[in-house]
Amino acid sequence: MRAVVFEAWKTFPTLKDIEKPTPGPGEVLLKVAGAGACHSDVAVYKDFEAATAPPQLAPSYVLGHENSGWAEELGAGVEGIALGDAFLVYGPIGCGHCVACSRGEDTYCTNAATMPYMASGLGRDGGMAEYIVVPARNLVPLGDADPIKAAPLSDAGLTPYHAIKNSLPNLTGGGKFALVVGLGGLGQIAVQILTALTGATVIATDSKADAMTRAQANGAITVPSGPDQAAQIREITGGRGVDAAFDFVGIAPTIALASAVMATKSRLTVVGIAGGKYEWSFFTTPYESTLTNTYWGTIEDLYEVVAMYKAGQITPDVELFAMEDALEAYRKLEAGELTGRAVVVP
């Protein structure tokens, strides 16, 4: 079968023929419906290096950690899954039996350090291929919802959802403001989720004008970058600042921008993995404000994301690519040329 393979650190992936996998005990073979391209893949193959990257991410394997597909074959011991049914894949794979995994939070598996991989497409074969094998417990049923458009929900939907859910206490109470920085695959869905779940005014920004236009269509007020950007954002909030912010870029300047506009008792979540640094000081930090990061989400969150998708509250903007054009999807992602989440449809 054709697959996009990450073969070596600091090396662009290859499109090549590999053997079709077979499901082991407790696993299911899916015929892939859609596989999203995430900016974290770019970090993995372009920025990370052997000395500092988690050993679980070492090449080689098939990329793609945002996957959907139809059940094609069941491994030994798997029951209750009808062949041909459509599923979204919960990507993180923990040990399956620790306290974190028992609550569906494989992201924070207490045995992660001794696991051989992190997730489907992150250390073990992912979905940028005609077929993928995943543990049966990682499947979330899609019913009759479109599985191709659903693929980005696995990460571009789940990650902002988890961050926003943890910030809901900051956004309830009326008259609240949320800020979204970086309106790519994750940021656009963040705007949709904030609009659907909270009554907060959503302020958003991106370095690209067309990304801001799409965010406006999803319900955001946008503020372009520029020297008075923080002042403009503060003005929208009546001077008080924003109650929750989500940074989907994560470089020092975006963390600094968000930090400059936070309100008292606010929460800033850095989602982007660009490694930006921020210097904290008692005297310049709003009282009782929180700065945190986050990693993906729980399988329970993913069920909730799928429910929002089925209710029409989340509609990922997608740009579809045939398998033979999968590498073009990554090229466009790197170049910032995409107009929606790139989804490879084998």
**Chain contacts with ligand NAD (rule: CB under 6 A):** 38-40, 43, 155, 159, 181-187, 205-208, 211, 225, 248-251, 253-254, 271-274, 294-296, 333, 336
Burial of 188 by CB count in 10 Å (0-12 exposed, 13-18 middle, 19+ buried)? buried
Q: Which of ligand NAD, Zn ion, none does residue 182 bind to, with CB < 5 to 8 Å depending on kind?
A: ligand NAD
| Residue 28 · residue 73 · CB < 8 Å | yes
Interacting residue with Zn ion among 94, 121, 185, 272 (CB under 5 A): 94
Examine residue 346 and tell whether it contacts Zn ion (CB under 5 A): no
Least CB distance to Zn ion at residue 137 (A): 12
Closer CB to Zn ion, residue 41 or residue 304? 41
Closest CA to 69 of 48, 84, 47: 84
Least CB distance to ligand NAD at residue 54 (A): 13
* Whole-number Å distance between alpha carbons of 17 and 150: 26
Q: Which of Zn ion, ligand NAD, none does residue 193 bind to, with CB < 5 to 8 Å depending on kind?
A: none
Closer CB to ligand NAD, residue 316 or residue 346? 316
Closer CB to ligand NAD, residue 134 or residue 180? 180
Least CB distance to ligand NAD at residue 103 (A): 18
Q: Select from 154-162, 196-204, 242-250, 312-320 the region that touches Zn ion (CB under 5 A).
A: 154-162
| Single-letter code of the amino acid located at 152 | P
Q: Residue 31: beta bridge partners? A: 70, 131
Q: Residue 34: beta bridge partners? A: 68
Least CB distance to Zn ion at residue 107 (A): 10
* Whole-number Å distance between alpha carbons of 55 and 150: 30
* Whole-number Å distance between alpha carbons of 234 and 103: 39
Q: Which of Zn ion, ligand NAD, none does residue 183 bind to, with CB < 5 to 8 Å depending on kind?
A: ligand NAD
**Is the N-terminal amide bond of 60 cis, ω within 30° of 0?**
yes
Residues 6 or more apart in contact with residue 205 via CB below 8 angstroms: 179, 180, 181, 183, 212, 222, 223, 224, 225, 229, 233, 257
- Contact letters (x/-) for Zn ion, 105-124, by CB under 5 A? ----x-x-------------
Q: Residue 123: beta bridge partners? A: 119
Closest CA to 2 of 127, 88, 154, 152: 127
Q: Select from 36-44, 76-84, 267-275, 330-338 the region that touches Zn ion (CB under 5 A).
A: 36-44
Least CB distance to Zn ion at residue 253 (A): 22
Interacting residue with Zn ion among 72, 105, 125, 155 (CB under 5 A): 155
Examine residue 98 and tell whether it contacts Zn ion (CB under 5 A): yes
Closer CB to Zn ion, residue 40 or residue 188? 40
* Whole-number Å distance between alpha carbons of 133 and 78: 13
Closer CB to Zn ion, residue 94 or residue 241? 94
Q: Which of ligand NAD, Zn ion, none does residue 101 bind to, with CB < 5 to 8 Å depending on kind?
A: Zn ion
Q: Residue 250: beta bridge partners? A: none
Examine residue 95 and tell whether it contacts Zn ion (CB under 5 A): yes
| Single-letter code of the amino acid located at 187 | G
Interacting residue with Zn ion among 101, 128, 249, 333 (CB under 5 A): 101
With H, G, I as helix, E, B as strand and everything else as coil, classify residue 246.
Answer: strand
* Whole-number Å distance between alpha carbons of 136 and 125: 15
Q: Which of ligand NAD, Zn ion, none does residue 249 bind to, with CB < 5 to 8 Å depending on kind?
A: ligand NAD
Q: Which of Zn ion, ligand NAD, none does residue 152 bind to, with CB < 5 to 8 Å depending on kind?
A: none
Closest CA to 243 of 257, 262, 258, 222: 262
Interface residue list for Zn ion (CB under 5 A): 38, 40, 94-95, 98, 101, 109, 111, 155
